[in-house]
Amino acid sequence: MAQLRKGKEELESRLGFPLAEPKGPVPLARAALPEPRIPIPRPLSRFATQDRYQRAFHAHGCSFAEVVAGFEGRFPHAPDLVLFPATERHLEAALEWCSANGVAVVPFGGGTSVVGGVLPAVGDRYNAAVSLDLNRLRGISELDTVSLSARVKAGTAGPQLEEELRPHGLAFRHYPQSFQFSTVGGWVATRAAGHYGTGPTHIEDRVEGVVAVTPAGAWRSRRLPASGAGPSPDRLLAGSEGVLGVITEVWLKVVRRPELRARLAVSFPGFFEGCDYLREALQADLVPTTCRLLDEQERALSFPGKGAVLLLSFERRGEGAERQARAELSRAAALAKGFGGRVLSREVGEGRPEAEAAYREAFFAGPYLRDLLIHYGAIAETFETAITWERLPALHEAVYAAAREAFGEEGFRLSCRLTHAYPDGAAPYFTVVGPSRHGEQVDRWLAVKEGVSRAILGAGGTITHHHAVGRDHLPYYLSQRPEPFAAALAAAKRALDPGWIMNPGVLLAADLKG
C-alpha cells in the first residue's frame, strides 16, 4: 500500500484528474463464494474439482466489471464445478452428463475475455454451472512442413505455440494483447485478430480445419486450403463463443519465420492526416505486415513531440528480401510526404527502434495499468470497432461526445489508435480512463460503456472488431445482426445443443431457445 500511495501523485499528474485513496484487494480467504449446488458427479470425478481457488479463478474473465468484483472479493457466479478434461472422451462424458442433468457448460481457455465471455452467469434455469477448462489439451499434435500447417490442441497458449514451431523455422505470428495467456481455441471461438494489421487480420483466415465436441456429437471438418462446398463449417465455429460446442483442435496455416524486418515510423500533423495516408497506401496496394496509427494521446506513451504517429512494418524472407524491403520503405516514406508526414525512424534488420520498443512494451502492459487503476477507484475501458473510411471521422467524434457526456465536467483521458486497416476501412481502438470512487466504479463503467456503445452503433460501426460479443456486448449485438440470421443461428444451436447448455447468455437471447 505504501507504494500505491507513493505513486498516486505521479499518476494524477499523468492522467489529469484526481484519484481516490488506494485500496487493496480482498483476500481470497475473506471472499464471498456461494456454496456448490451439486456434489462432484462420479462420472466426472477424475477431472473435476470444487477447490475454492479454482472456483474463484474460473468465476470471471477480464472485463472491467469482473475484475472489480474479484478485487472486492465478490464471486456471485462462481461455477459449481471446474472440469479439466485431458481427452476428447472426457469432454464427451462432461457434455453428456451436463445435458442429462440440466447443467450449464462455460468453456474456458486463458480466461482473458474482456466482454464477459467466460462468466458463468447462467441464470436460475440451470441446476448448476461448470467451467470447462481446456488447459490440459495443449501442444502441437501434428506438423505438416510441406503444406505449412499445424494441428494444434485448443488449450495451447500463444507462447507455447511459438516455442514448439520455432525449432522447425516456423511461426504462427498471431499476437493479440492477451498473447501470453490466451489460447488457440479461444482465438477461433472469438474470431480474434492478431499480429497482421492488414491482409489476414482475423484468425479464421488462417484456419484449415476444426475439430469440436458438441452435445449432439463430434464435429470434424475436412482439412483443406479452401473450399466452395456450401457454407463453411469452420466459419460457423469461428466466432461461436462456445454456444455450439467445444473446439478441441485446429489446423492452422503457419508461416516460415521472417528473415528480415523493415520498420518505418512517420509523424503526421494530426490523426486524420495519418488515416488519409493509410487509406491511400492500402488502396495503392502498399500492404505492410503490421500498422499502428497512434493519436497524440497514444503517442505520448513513447514518442516525444506532437501529432499522430504511424508505425509500419514489412516482413520478408528469401533472396532479394533486403532489396524488396528497402524499396517498400522508400515508397511508403515518399507517399507520406503528400500528407504532411515526417519520417522519425527507418530500420531494416532485426533491430527495433527505441521508441517503437517503448510503445510495444506499453501496449502489452496496458491491461495491467487498468488493473492498477482499480486500486484508486478509477475506471479504464477500451472500445474497439470497425467502420468504412468515409464514416470514420463522424464515429470518432461521436465516441468523444459520448465520453464527455458520461463524465460531465470531470476530467478524463480518451485516446485512439488504428490497430488494423483495410482498403475500405479501419478498426479504431479507443481507451478511456476517468475518475470514479470505490464502490461506484461499475456503475460509472456501465454508463460510459452504454453511451459509447450506442454512439458506435449509431455511427454505423460494429460493436466489436475482435473482442467478441460475450455477455457485455449482447444487447448491442442484438440490434446489429439481421433477424433471419439470429433465427438460423438459434436453429443451429438447437440442433447441436438440444439442452441449450453451452455458454447460455452469449450470442443468443434466452427467448430464442424455443
Q: What are the pLDDT digits (tens) for 425-435?
A: 999 999 999 99
pLDDT of 367 over the 70 cut: no
- Tell whether domain 25-133 is in CATH 3.30.43.10: yes
Region label for 31, one of left (φ > 0), alpha (ψ between -120 and 50) or beta (otherwise): beta
What pLDDT sits at residue 291?
94
Task: Please give the backbone phi and psi of residue 502, each rounded to the nearest 5 degrees, phi first.
Answer: -80, 110
pLDDT digits (tens, 9 = 90+) for 488-498: 999 999 999 99
How far apart, in whole angstroms, are the C-alpha atoms of residue 68 and residue 61?
Answer: 11
* Of residues 6 and 374, more confidently modeled: 374
| Long-range pairs for 192-197: beta carbons < 8 A, 24 or more residues apart | 192/466, 192/468, 193/419, 193/420, 193/427, 193/465, 193/466, 195/289, 195/290, 196/289, 196/290, 196/420, 197/288, 197/289, 197/290, 197/291, 197/292, 197/419, 197/420, 197/421
CB 439 within 8 A of CB 361: no
How far apart, in whole angstroms, are the C-alpha atoms of residue 378 and residue 372?
Answer: 9
Specify the 3-state DSSP secondary structure of 183. Answer: strand
What pLDDT sits at residue 371?
85
What pLDDT sits at residue 320?
83
Instruction: Supply 114's cell numbers.
Output: 474482456
DSSP assignment of 209-247, as one string? Answer: EEEEEETTEEEEPPP-S---SSS-HHHHHTT-TTSS-EE
CATH numeric code, 260-358: 3.30.70.3450
Total residues belonging to the chain: 514
Mean pLDDT over 371-386 rounds to: 93
CA 361 remoteness from chain centre: 18
What pLDDT sits at residue 353?
59
354: confidence class by pLDDT, cuts 50, 70, 90:
low
What pLDDT sits at residue 463?
98
CB 412 within 8 A of CB 434: yes
pLDDT of 356 over the 80 cut: no
**Closest to 99 measured CA to CA, from 514, 491, 504, 508:** 504
329: confidence class by pLDDT, cuts 50, 70, 90:
very high
DSSP assignment of 62-129, as one string? Answer: SSHHHHHHHHTTB-TT--SEEE---SHHHHHHHHHHHHHHTEEEEEESSS--SSSTT-----SSSSEE
12: confidence class by pLDDT, cuts 50, 70, 90:
confident
- Average the pLDDT over each of 23-37, 297-311, 486-500 and give the range with the smallest value: 297-311
Mean pLDDT over 463-468 rounds to: 97
pLDDT of 355 over the 70 cut: no
How far apart, in whole angstroms, are the C-alpha atoms of residue 264 and residue 195?
Answer: 16
179: confidence class by pLDDT, cuts 50, 70, 90:
very high
**Closest to 466 measured CA to CA, from 502, 497, 420, 424:** 420
pLDDT of 359 over the 70 cut: no
Domain boundaries, the chain: 25-133, 140-256, 260-358, 376-468, 477-512
pLDDT digits (tens, 9 = 90+) for 46-98: 999 999 999 999 999 999 999 999 999 999 999 999 999 999 999 999 999 99
Q: Count of CB atoms within 10 A of residue 9's CB?
A: 10
CB 420 within 8 A of CB 351: no
Mean pLDDT over 294-321 rounds to: 89
What pLDDT sits at residue 15?
83
CB 448 within 8 A of CB 434: yes
* Of residues 448 and 7, more confidently modeled: 448
CATH numeric code, 376-468: 3.30.300.330
pLDDT of 364 over the 60 cut: no
Q: Do domains 140-256 and 376-468 have the same CATH topology?
A: no
Beta-bridged to residue 388, according to DSSP, are 425
CB 110 within 8 A of CB 57: no
Pairing of strands 128-133, 81-83: parallel
11: confidence class by pLDDT, cuts 50, 70, 90:
confident
284: confidence class by pLDDT, cuts 50, 70, 90:
very high
Mean pLDDT over 129-156 rounds to: 98
Q: Percent of the chain at pLDDT above 90?
A: 82
CATH fold of 140-256, please?
Answer: 3.30.465
CB 72 within 8 A of CB 30: no
| Burial (CB count within 10 angstroms: exposed 0-12, middle 13-18, buried 19+), residue 159 | exposed
| Mean pLDDT for all residues in the chain | 93
- Average the pLDDT over each of 117-126, 161-170, 254-263, 350-359 and give the range with the smallest value: 350-359
DSSP assignment of 480-514, as one string? Answer: HS-HHHHHHHHHHHHHH-TT--BSTTSSS-GGG--
Q: CA dihedral defined by 162, 368, 468, 98, rounded to 10 degrees?
A: 80
272: confidence class by pLDDT, cuts 50, 70, 90:
very high
What pLDDT sits at residue 62?
95
Residues 6+ positions from 482 with CB-CB distance below 8 Å: none
What pLDDT sits at residue 511?
63
- Average the pLDDT over each of 58-62, 195-199, 287-291, 347-351 and give the range with the smallest value: 347-351
What pLDDT sits at residue 29?
94
Mean pLDDT over 265-293 rounds to: 96
Instruction: Supply 465's cell numbers.
Output: 472488431
